[in-house]
Amino acid sequence: HRTVQPYGLLHGGVSVVLAETLGSCGAAYAAPAGHRAVGLDINANHLKGVTSGWVTGITRPVHIGRSTQVWQIELTNEAGELTCVSRITMAVLAPK
């Protein structure tokens, strides 16, 4: 009940939160020691509604550079159907 919108579908914002979390974790692990990865931009395309069950995600790097990273995130339902695709751009900040 906490993750659905009035029509009973998984709220799109929940999908974006999951995508951003996965992309941010990937970026943090890929950043050089001591560097921080922070979000610059995120977009999402909601392809199929989810009314019940678990949603899982896979994150893949598109670009890992010195100052930016781009990550592609694919969310799927329990049947393995693609429900959302997202792309996040991260800034890589040097230690202070």
Query: How many beta carbons lie within 10 A of that of residue 25, not counting itself?
Result: 13
Q: Which listed residue (20, 74, 78, 81) is catalytic?
A: 20
CA–CA separation, 83 and 81 (whole Å): 6
CA–CA separation, 74 and 56 (whole Å): 8
What letter does residue 34 receive in the DSSP assignment? T
Report long-range pairs for 2-6 (Cβ below 8 Å, ≥24 apart). Answer: 4/51
Please confirm, yes or no, whether 20 is among the known catalytic residues: yes
Within its chain, how far is the Cα of 11 from the centroid?
A: 15
Please give the positions annotated as active site: 20
